[in-house]
Copies of this chain bind each other. A is one copy, B any other.
Amino acid sequence: MSISTKEKIKSVTLSLFAQKGYDGTTMSEIANLVGIKKASLYAHFSGKEDLIFSVYEDLAQEYVDLMNRIISESDSMDVQDKLYYMFKQYISYYIDNPEIQAFWNQITLFTPPDISHKFYCHASNYDLKVQQWIETTLSEGINQGLIINGDTKKMAIAYRALREGLLNGMMVNPELNTVDNIKSLWEYFWFGIKGRG
């Protein structure tokens, strides 16, 4: 059986919203791309806000699942590999799904305030767990003498800043997007925090 209309609508909405943001995405254009009439959208979603929130929920779940998978897959690795695996997989996910990255950017940075407040609580919640996992893993590294004794909170900030910055740089300049680059940048970070003895 073919993909349901509801799913098609969400898929089209993701694309458009990622490119054009909340204001720039119109119900007309969504309907056109799905191949139905504007009014038909309202048989599936109660309105624009509901539609976009529904897309958001799917992606939030996808994000949670991804993080869980990465953490469980890296469970038996050593500290360096764990951190690198998370680093690489995270970047790869968004590089492979640029629309999803653009979607999150839109949500985080540029959705009208009366709409966006719904999203925040939901989203950041799970992120705290990931933050914790990174800090815990860095702690492990310190205990094992692999990483210099320092504030894991700050290291985690650096880790994330580098990751996000790289991801964004790759978005804007797609030629940066090579496995090679990911590895090199990772190593600069790793040497920066590596134990110096």
Contact = CB atoms under 8 A, between A and B. Distances in A.
Interface of A: 20-24, 102, 105-106, 108-110, 112, 150-151, 154-155, 157-158, 160-166, 168-169, 172, 176, 181, 184-185, 187-194, 196
A157 B172 contact: no
A154 to B, nearest CB: 5
A161 B169 contact: yes
26 contacts: A20-B110, A21-B21, A23-B23, A23-B24, A24-B110, A24-B112, A102-B109, A154-B185, A155-B188, A157-B166, A158-B162, A158-B166, A158-B185, A160-B169, A161-B165, A161-B169, A162-B165, A164-B164, A164-B169, A165-B166, A188-B189, A190-B192, A191-B191, A191-B193, A191-B196, A192-B192
Contacts of A189: 158, 188-189, 192
A162 B160 contact: no
Given A105-B109, A192-B189, A158 B184 contact: yes
A112 to B, nearest CB: 6
Of the candidates A161, A192, A194, the one having the most CB atoms from chain B within 10 angstroms of its own CB is A161
B110 A172 contact: no
